[in-house]
Amino acid sequence: MDGRSPLRPSALLETVDQAISIKYNNLVYDLEATGHDIVTLSLGESFFDVPAPDFGGFEPDELHHYSHSRGLPELRRRLAKYYGDEFGLPVDPDHEILITAGSKVAIYLALLATVEPGDEVVVLEPSWLSYATQVWLCGGVPVSVPHDVGVFELDRYVTGRTRAIIVNNPNNPSGRVYTQAELDFLHELAERHGLLLVADEAYNEFVAPGTRFVACGAADSGKRHTLTINSMSKNYGISGWRVGYVIAHRTLIEQILKVNQHLITCAPTPLTRYLAENFDTLIERTRPQIQRVVETRNEVAGWLAERGIEVLPGSATFYLFASLGDSTLGSDAFAERLLRESGVSVVPGIAYGESCDHYVRISVGAETPERIRRGIDAIARLIANTGG
Ligand code: PMP
């Protein structure tokens, strides 16, 4: 394109690609629209039986307008109680929480409010694909830690420019849950170097049956260095509603509030009103379904092992991060061939970092066990057919 064309993108955007997982999902939607049956193991959501919202009990004026840009007070209070009662992280609903249009934007607002140009932000691979891009869009420098480096070795990645470490617990795409010792180490590292710990807990309900989720912020109740991100998307099975939130020290929330006011104004009023009203019934409804999908996830780990496919360690979420073993294909080529030849969609591991190009993410949230089995049979076949 002509360098002076009014259609030229900014130099920054020219370095940014589409989110690979969303690109694959769009491809699936397009294929399905033309009559193809796709075994969809690429979606970043779990499908639950959740009733359609009924707004009949509300006055139109309660629904149609902007609402408080910190988030509807009733929902803030309910979410504060959720973190306080269930995870031992006390939250002042008036000053320490902000609800916005999804946790993806919550992370971006938090980064915009804290990262200076040139600041480094440490992201742990496999890392959810938007962290590095968002850091980059804020003028920061993402510092990626390869997947085989342990948490206790993170000192090596901290420099005088490090501003924050993003910890995704439980992790998308591996399903890994951080141990108490690892969380303690991260807090100690943050204290020692004056860093912000950004704890993305979007999948906190998706832990293995019989285990208890430990919120990162519980060990920092004064929120001196921990900022917590969470979402209604996954735990409530309503990712399309776009409701997420951030919990942080009131001084940070004040900064994030400004950015929210300039970019979003407020999370959707009718949806947050409905959620405040139906919080308990919704979570009661999804919790057994969450437990079942986590059980399925761990069963599928067994099916993969039976086929000689290794996964990165993990027990939570509805994702598995599977090794391509002897295949000589890169993960993008593998995912494309799998989709084209077998009608099975997965997300290429390269989306989660350079160290992850020999993996694919398998999501078990949107398909029946029988179809998941069909999908992993196809993965095993393609690995065998493309071996060196
Ligand atoms: N964090 C992680 C780890 C995710 O996987 C996702 C969605 N895939 C998000 C944040 C964003 O979720 P949402 O914007 O729907 O709240």
The CATH number of residue 296's host domain is 3.90.1150.10
Pocket residue to mutate for ligand 1, from 22, 24, 100, 103, most atoms within 8 A of Cβ: 103
How far does residue 99's CA lie from ligand 1's centre (Å)? 14
How far does residue 202's CA lie from ligand 1's centre (Å)? 6
3-class DSSP string for the chain: CCCCCCCCCCHHHHCCCCCHHHHHHHHHHHHHHCCCCCEECCCCCCCCCCCCCCCCCCCHHHHCCCCCCCCCHHHHHHHHHHHHHHHCCCCCCCCCEEEECCHHHHHHHHHHHHCCCCCEEEEECCCCCHHHHHHHHCCCEEEEECCCCCHHHHHHHCCCCEEEEEEECCCCCCCCCCCHHHHHHHHHHHHHHCCEEEEECCCCCCCCCCCCCCCHHHHCCCCCCEEEEEECCCCCCCHHHCCEEEECCHHHHHHHHHHHHHHCCCCCHHHHHHHHHHHHHHHHHHHHHHHHHHHHHHHHHHHHHHCCCCECCCCCCCEEEEECCCECCCHHHHHHHHHHHHCEECEEHHHHCHHHCCEEEEECCCCCHHHHHHHHHHHHHHHHHCEC
Question: CA-CA distance, 388 to 378, in Å (whole number)?
Answer: 18
Same domain for 140 and 69, yes or no, is: yes
Residue 227 has a CB neighbour count (10 Å cut-off) of 28
**Structural domain range at position 224:** 60-282
Same domain for 15 and 66, yes or no, is: no
CB contact at 8 A, 50 and 238: yes
pLDDT at 293: 97
Q: Is any ligand 1 atom within 6 A of the Cβ of residue 103?
A: yes
Question: CA-CA distance, 70 to 278, in Å (whole number)?
Answer: 20
Q: Is residue 174 part of a domain?
A: yes
pLDDT < 50: residue spans in the chain? none
Residue 118 has a CB neighbour count (10 Å cut-off) of 10
pLDDT at 148: 97
Q: Is residue 228 part of a domain?
A: yes
Same domain for 212 and 339, yes or no, is: no
pLDDT at 33: 94
Residue type, 76: R
pLDDT at 1: 62
Number of structural domains (the chain) is 2
Same domain for 82 and 226, yes or no, is: yes
Same domain for 236 and 313, yes or no, is: no
How far does residue 386's CA lie from ligand 1's centre (Å)? 33
pLDDT at 375: 98
Same domain for 241 and 208, yes or no, is: yes
Question: CA-CA distance, 366 to 98, in Å (whole number)?
Answer: 30
| Residue finishing a domain among 226, 255, 282 | 282
Same domain for 254 and 116, yes or no, is: yes
Q: Is residue 5 part of a domain?
A: no
Same domain for 113 and 185, yes or no, is: yes
Question: CA-CA distance, 122 to 141, in Å (whole number)?
Answer: 9
Same domain for 97 and 44, yes or no, is: no
Same domain for 125 and 193, yes or no, is: yes
pLDDT at 221: 96
Q: Is any ligand 1 atom within 6 A of the Cβ of residue 202?
A: yes
| Residue finishing a domain among 245, 264, 282 | 282
How far does residue 70's CA lie from ligand 1's centre (Å)? 20
Question: CA-CA distance, 333 to 38, in Å (whole number)?
Answer: 18
How far does residue 205's CA lie from ligand 1's centre (Å)? 14
Same domain for 321 and 191, yes or no, is: no
Q: What CATH code is carried by the domain that includes residue 81?
A: 3.40.640.10
Q: Is residue 55 part of a domain?
A: no
Q: Is residue 93 part of a domain?
A: yes
Q: Is residue 360 part of a domain?
A: yes
**Ligand 1 atom nearest to CA at 243:** 16
For tokens 């470490």, name the residue: 165
Q: Is any ligand 1 atom within 6 A of the Cβ of residue 244?
A: yes
Token pair, residue 65, equals: 């307008």
Residues near 280 by Cβ (< 8 Å), separated by ≥ 6? none
| Residue finishing a domain among 282, 317, 333 | 282
Q: Is residue 303 part of a domain?
A: yes
pLDDT at 158: 98
How far does residue 57's CA lie from ligand 1's centre (Å)? 30
Question: CA-CA distance, 166 to 172, in Å (whole number)?
Answer: 13
